[in-house]
Structure 1
Amino acid sequence: MFLASFIAGGVDAVVGGGGLIQIPALFALHPEQSAATLFGTNKFASIVGTANATWRYARRVVMPWRSILPATFGALLFSYLGAAAVAWLPKESIRPLILFLLIFAAVYTLKKKNFGQEHQPLLAGHHELFWAFVLGAVIGFYDGFFGPGTGSFLIFLFVRFFGFDFLHASASAKVVNVVTNFAALAYFIPNGHLLPWLAVGMAIANLSGSQAGTWLALKYGNGVIRKVFLLVVGVLILRFAWDTAKML
């Protein structure tokens, strides 16, 4: 679990998607535990690494707070609504839609070679505040309802609709991710859905991986983030394609 958490922290620090590594490892090594307990343990480890990545980005990158803060507020509010929606909307019903959106994001990024290479914000004033809130609300609802690929979707949307480069988009996504993880932990921890000693050990490993991942992103910038982004989205596409095929 420590090895899986280290790798997950590194991937999360660059483009998100560390849950693709941590969650399967938790389910494989602790099949006797409930899903809620494993998800709570995963969130505890992830929030430590993500918070560290946020702090390191903020020291080296000029953070676009006018976009980040409304997005964070929208994500915090709607992640709760997303969690509540699980009771009346089957998760399986949105798998094909998520698969389509992931393929679209990958194809769009591949076709546009300069996508995310230059930081040229497109919105300002009230338009920026409004659309940042909408972005955060949509992604927050998705994270509360389903979750996989939240960081990758955030980065793509910040680049596509706000004109950020990959570095600024990744830094912005980390802030929103910290808040959505915190909202989830506010439910998991009081209800006892946590393996404390394992969570602390995983958090230390995740933090170490986050240090390495953030260093890599800051040193090599948009080029390496774009490549890791495409890799993670590719893995997500394969996972969702497999899950969708099993439903047919």
Structure 2
Amino acid sequence: MIETFFSEISLINFLFLASACFCAAFVDAIAGGGGLISLPAFLAAGLEPHMALGTNKLAASFSTVGSALKFARSGKINWSLIKYFIPFSFLGAVLGVKSVMLIDSKYLYPLAFGLLVFVLIYTLKNKTLGNVSNFEGTTSKTLKLGMLMAFALGFYDGFFGPGTGSFIIFAFIKIFKLDFIQASGNSKFLNLASNVASVITFIYFGKIAYIYSLTIGIVMLIGATTGAKVAVTRGTKFIRPVFLVVTTIVTAKMALTFLQQF
């Protein structure tokens, strides 16, 4: 496999792709937004858009598994909470991938951009948001909101992707009053569900370059495990500013891409 991979891509391009995807996985494990780095890197490697989406999803699944396991071992996952939402995230992602095979993902740019701007402004204005966990269990209302959130963001992740982690973290904080580190940990398992569903669907459509995704996936696994370890060690006060920086960059990148369409 390695020989085939290097016959398709030069060493310099591999080092660029590996470095970009390591950084993507590291950042994503802490605050989401890694797709902003990894997806363009796969596109720059010469993969056509749908193939890049599928290949990125499989590689990112390695990343999500690594960070999810680290958060789980550190006791930052509320299993009694997320068990309700994983099936909705999975279903949403399947429908999202099926939709993106028919519709250009550019049509989600305005909506995603608007939501990211809202998340950024709201988090900046509410300086204590996510600093302390005030989770007091679930109600019928919060469960329904959580299921809707999981389905909608699962669909978005399968259809497009950038900013999904940030959206899920923000939703866990707003709906269930978790702190940043708990929200980040729980978000990884919803992300994992949508990633697995997306990968299965992309495999069905034959849109994964396995040589790329499996090789780079190992690099992303290392990056994600490292990032999650840093997040768990440094805590909420570290995650919040990283979250704000990542969300700002994702928002700016999406704004630039949207403007370039005109």
Shift, 1:7, TM fit? 0.8
Structure 1: distance between partners of 2:102 and 2:169 = 29
Within-5 A mapping of 1:44-193: 44-86=58-100, 91-121=105-135, 123-193=137-207
Structure 1 residues 166-175 or 237-246, which shifts more? 237-246
SS in 2 for 1:136: helix
Alignment pair present for 1:23 and 2:39: yes
- State the distance in 2 between where 1:24 and 1:136 align: 25
Which of 236, 239, 244 is the aligned partner of 1:230? 244
Match of 1:6 among 19, 22, 25: 22
Q: CA RMSD in A?
A: 1.9
Q: What amino acid is the match of 2:212?
A: L
**Cα distance change, pair 25–85 in 1 and its aligned pair in 2 (3 A):** closer
Structure 1 206/90 Cα, relative in aligned 2: closer, same or farther at 3 Å? closer
Q: State the shift of 1:191 in Å.
A: 4.0
**How far, CA to CA, are the matches of 2:105 and 2:225 in structure 1?**
34
Scaled by the length of structure 2, the TM-score of the pair is 0.87
Give the C-alpha shift of residue 110 in structure 1: 1.1
Counterpart of 1:3, as a letter, is S
Q: Distance in 1 between matches of 2:95 and 2:209?
A: 26
Deviates more, 1:172-181 or 1:15-24: 15-24
- Distance between the aligned counterparts of 1:47 and 1:238, measured in 2? 25
Structure 1 residues 2, 122: closer, same or farther in 2, change over 3 A? same
Equivalent position amino acid for 1:243 in 2:
T
SS at match of 1:159: helix
Q: 1:163 to 1:47 in 2, by over 3 A?
A: same
- 2:55 and 2:179 map into 1 onto residues whose CA distance is 32
> What is the deviation of 1:59?
1.1
Query: Structure 1 length as normaliser, TM-score?
Result: 0.91
What's the % identity of the aligned pairs? 34
Q: Which runs of 4+ in 1 moved over 6 A?
A: none
- Please say which of residues 83-92 and 182-191 is displaced more in the overlay: 83-92
The worse-fitting range, judged by mean Cα deviation, of 86-95 and 164-173 is 86-95
Residue identity in the other structure for 1:228: V
Structure 2 unpaired stretches of 5+: 1-16
Query: For the residues of structure 2 that align with 1:97 and 1:193, how far apart are their CA atoms?
Result: 26
Deviations 1:186-242 (A, max 9, x none): 122344322223222211111111121011101111111111111111111111211
For the 8 Å contact 1:79–1:140, the answer to whether it is kept is yes
Deviation string, structure 1 residues 53-104 (Cα, Å, up to 9, x no partner) = 1111011124222321222111111222233444776543432222221111
Structure 1 distance, partners of 2:74, 2:58, is: 25
Provide the C-alpha distance between the structure 1 equivalents of 2:69 and 2:154, rounded to a whole number of angstroms. 21
Residues 67 and 132 of structure 1 are in contact (CA less than 8 Å); yes or no, is this contact kept in structure 2?
no
